Amino acid sequence: MITWLLPELPEEVLQIILDNLDQRHLANLAQVSRFLRKKACERLYKKIIVINDDIEGNFLDQCRSSYLRVSRLNLLVDRLSPENFARMTKIIIHSQSNLISYDYFPLYERLLRLWDLVPHHSITFMNFDINNIRNSRTINQYVSNRSTLFIEDELMNLHNNSKVSNLRNWMVFDFRELFELPYNLNLQDLDIFIEQSMGPAAYPDHAPDAFLHNLSTLSGLYLDSPTSTSQFLQYFKGSTAPIMHNLEKLSLTSAHSYKDNSRLSFSDLSKVIDFRTLKKFELKINCIHNDCDCINTFFSELPCNNLQKFILINYKSNNLKQNLNQFDRLLNNPDFFRAVSTVESLYLNVNDFIKLDANHSPKFSIRKLMLRISGLTRLRELVIPDFFNNWLVSLPSIFEHPRTTEAGYEPENCFDLLLNKCSCVECNSTRARFNKLASFDSRNNYKHDFKRSLPSSSGLADAYNNTEHLIEFTTSNVNFLNYLVANLKRQFIYINENLFSINSVINSNEKPFIVNPELIPYNKLFMHSCLNHFVGRIKYDKLDLKLINLGGIVIEFTKQNCIKAPYNV
């Protein structure tokens, strides 16, 4: 790139170039001149995501975020200037304190000091490190506590409201925390994560004005546990009119158990929330009751005329028969799809608990789901994370190619359909490699240790000849397929990680999807064998549909409605 010419370009052209540079090239460009450093830093510091050191793969990111390995977080803390802080709009912590416990207090303290220099700069700060926030404090707790002075053993409530109000999002672990926080004009999103009830809570008879003002101006509410949802609704049980008039994003978590007030009721919700304003709605739900239809009942009353994104998740992947039956009835219910008929983005994850095996029988019909989805005329994005676990087994039902056997005709099995239907050289080679690796893994006690203990290159080379290779339905091959499926799902790590606690799919477009390039040959095998045809059936007359994600295989479409590389035929 001839960098000395860049400052001479029109502003619009320069911005297009900068928007299409990756993080490494932007960092290099920042070393060229003061002008380009300023331009590059505007992108580099706008949105920062802190990630684990061991994350590998290609980041599919619609927001062009900057990624920082957690081991280098101290460099950001030490070097963050007021100028670059003023460029920040969002920091997301996606590193996880598992074997290593991470400390983010130095970052909190640095932000606290920077607010002395840039007093009115507001940011979004999201921490998805569940073990960290369980054992430490959230940033809003930290800022609030650090803004309180203790003088001669007397607590003086000298809250520096401007600092805690510089946060556009708060997370609380106790409903009573909300009564103690000040009015925040910048507040956009509120997470309430109450893991377990500590008994009847003593709430004030009259809600503080700041609390009501904060709720009335919220654009996003995330009730991250069944207890959060039930306590929130119990507090407002006596309301006569909705108090949340500006809510555009709602995430609800509900588990209909044997506890009191555990059943989700639309009538209770409508006393607090005006559903007509919702644009994004996420429901994480399950029900353990026999002869109950609470999930269908909830949707039969739901008016969401402006809904653009809908997420349905089987909470904690509950695979009880009575719970799965409710989801099956829901996904076959025309009234449900009428309730979400305006959506542009649909995310369905209802049964990702099971693995493929010889006894895997259909519980849900992919044919019926396709029929219902065909009525979603505005659909632009379809994401089905549990495609291989839940829907693949019924895929042969949409292919009219029965097999001839001595006993007559019988339908194809999903295993053969997925792996053996394309005879091109590339797929034949991939099947040969599949067989070799599956056999090796079987001899190695299914440790999946391919990087350290791969078969010899000569052994693999012998497989890539002109012999036609098929993948048989054996234990070792099924185990290897499940290994591939598990790795496909790991690409959702930042979208689905801690999904049953503090994460949400609502803002998935702001999080990266990690593409594992080692899986692409197998994805191509699946696509050539049957998924191209399946995707074509979904796409059909949906000209606006731009992306389909089947269990981790991301199929994107060009403006001419052709499949993009690497899956274009």
Contact between 102 and 135 (Cβ < 8 Å): no
Distance, in Å, from the CA atom of 17 to the CA atom of 487, rounded to the nearest integer, reads 34
Spatial contact of 412 and 398, defined as CB atoms under 8 Å apart: no
Q: How far apart are the first and last CA of the chain?
A: 33
The separation between CA 131 and the C-alpha centre of its own chain, rounded to angstroms, equals 19
Percent of the chain with pLDDT over 70: 90
pLDDT band at 109 (very low <50, low <70, confident <90, very high): very high
pLDDT band at residue 182 under the 50/70/90 scheme: very high
**Amino acid in the structure at residue 417:** L
Average pLDDT over residues 531-558: 95
Judged against a pLDDT cut of 80, whether residue 405 lies above it is answered with no
pLDDT computed for residue 263 by the predictor:
94
CB within 8 Å of 35: residues ≥ 6 apart: 7
Per-residue pLDDT tens for 207-229? 889 999 999 999 999 999 999 99
Measured in degrees and rounded to the nearest 5, phi and psi for residue 234 equal -65, -40
Whether residue 25 is predicted with pLDDT greater than 90 in this model: the reply is no
Per-residue confidence (pLDDT) for residue 3, from 0 to 100:
57
CA quadruple 143, 144, 146, 147: dihedral, nearest 10: 110
Q: Grade residue 427 by pLDDT with cuts at 50, 70 and 90.
A: very high
Delimit the domains of the chain by residue range: 1-44, 422-544
Q: Which residues contact 176 (CB under 8 A, 6 or more apart)?
A: 201, 203
Residue 406 DSSP SS3: coil
Confidence of residue 148 (pLDDT cuts 50, 70, 90): low
* pLDDT over 70 at 161, yes or no: no
Closest CA to 420 of 259, 567, 325, 530: 530
- Residues 70-105 have pLDDT tens digits of 999 999 999 999 999 999 999 999 999 987 889 999
**Model confidence over 300-350: pLDDT tens digits?**
888 767 899 999 999 999 999 999 999 999 999 988 998 899 999 999 999
pLDDT at 115 over 60: yes
Q: Is the pLDDT of residue 474 over 50?
A: yes
Residue 321: the pLDDT is 93
pLDDT of residue 152: 45
Mean pLDDT of 224-242: 88
- Span 466-495, mean pLDDT? 93
Residue 151: per-residue pLDDT:
45
CA distance 145 to 126: 18
Note the pLDDT tens digit of each residue in 44-73.
999 999 999 988 888 887 778 999 999 999
Return the pLDDT at 457: 47
Mean pLDDT of the chain: 88
SS3 assignment, position 81: coil
The mean pLDDT of 277-302, rounded to a whole number, is 94
Q: Which of 389, 394, 350, 345 is nearest to 370 (CA)?
A: 394
> Region 524-547: what's the mean pLDDT?
95
Nearest to 171 by CA among 210, 106, 125: 125
> How far apart (Å, rounded) are the C-alpha atoms in residues 141 and 163?
11
Q: For the whole model, what pTM was predicted?
A: 0.92
The whole-number pLDDT of residue 410 equals: 55
